[in-house]
Amino acid sequence: MTIIRQTSLFGIQELYDMEPTQKYEAIISAINLDKIYYKITKKSRKGAPEELNYAAMIISTFVRYVERIPT
């Protein structure tokens, strides 16, 4: 069985040296948000309101994960 190692986007020290806004911008720019946005956007008139900011929800989920915020 082979072991597959995925290279990291940034070194841990490099992330520590960045300001929080720079860190978030670097991480979010490395991720293709278009595919995620397409999957979660509203497809019908029923359910959640159309005014929800889906892009902000996606970005806040990644920031929450990076900052280790539980909920």
Task: Write out the chain's pLDDT in tens, 71 residues.
Answer: 566 666 666 677 776 777 777 778 887 888 888 888 888 776 766 766 667 788 888 888 888 887 888 87
pLDDT value of residue 27: 79
- pTM for this predicted structure: 0.54
pLDDT value of residue 41: 75
Amino acid code (one letter) for 34 = D
Burial 15-25 (b: 16+ CB within 10 A, else e): eeeeeeeebbe
pLDDT value of residue 65: 83
- The ranges assigned to domains in the chain are 12-41+51-67
CA distance 52 to 30: 24
